[in-house]
Structure 1
């Protein structure tokens, strides 16, 4: 089992997940220009580069979060960001989230491989027993994407968050266990082929 405080670069054929840092802020600002990205997120769209810089500062300051920049290997462009969060080594659990990518890369091999790399690292390197996801109950696209990974819907946390517009958000919770990973791994690899 690896050190749960480690924050490695995870590299694949289509995507490289680099520990998020100040050098990624400009690329995140550019990747985040499509308003559709922000519809279900708990933060507002970046209006200026300084917003992306503050986003990076907040993400990297959170001790229970390991934030990554998603880099398109073929172009070197920042496609978006994703994170491990709610990391609890004692119980061998973590969540994947705070994820967004520019629509150019949605439903592509880059996005699939990013999830594969995060899951492989969680289960095969860290020795996680459970990986979880949380998404807005109204975000059906996200729910379908999580289900395609092989995660199981566990339930709904009612009045769980406040959206940027001030409305109350119900959150759908999904998980995958260590025992379910081999089957999910095979399916993800088949999709990447």
Structure 2
């Protein structure tokens, strides 16, 4: 598999499908809880037109490979996630632009989604490093990234502008190919 591919990734709990405009209605429904959007770099879509624009913008970003997260049991769109900052020459990428609907939080869906992305990055593509970035105030996201086995590297100060215009510091995490086997075993154990 090459670094230019954008495959469907399937597990027992989640199927990651390359994002298409057809996912917009499901994303609008999954994103109905305003709490989901507190730390994201985009605002909550108010209607189908805004959801379609959100999808269009994700697909137009040349630095991003977005997926829709589909709950296998119900067939519903649960949220979205992406690879971004993909640099094949250096065998590095980031995982982010991730959110899941309230109905799917604290389920195996997010853990398995990250497992599938990490497995693809390290085992299919031969990545040497996967990174995550999150708002310094988003403690829930930081704990979730740490549960994956990623290591906190530091804080990028005044790194981004939030949708409300305030300045965001970003916490940076990473996992290397040497750390993946241990993280893989722990994630598989969590998934049962």
Aligned residue pairs, count? 192
What pairs with 1:36-51 in structure 2 (closer than 5 Å)? 36-51=35-50
1:100 match: 99
2:74 match: 75
Q: Does 1:181 align with 2:173?
A: no
Q: Runs in 1 of length 4+ with deviation above 3 angstroms?
A: none
Distance 1:29 1:179 in 2: 38
Q: Does 1:117 align with 2:116?
A: yes
Distance 1:63 1:90 in 2: 16
Deviations 1:139-178, CA, capped at 9 Å, x for gaps: 0000000000000000000000001111000000000000
Q: TM-score, normalised by structure 2?
A: 0.99
Q: 1:181 Cα shift?
A: 0.1
Distance 2:164 2:51 in 1: 20
Q: Which stretch shifts more, 117-126 or 54-63? A: 54-63
Q: Secondary structure at the match of 1:60?
A: helix
What pairs with 1:146-157 in structure 2 (closer than 5 Å)? 146-157=145-156
Deviations 1:103-124, CA, capped at 9 Å, x for gaps: 2111211111001000000000
1:86 match: 85
Q: TM-score, normalised by structure 1?
A: 0.98
Structure 2's unaligned 5+ residue stretches are none
Distance 1:182 1:109 in 2: 20
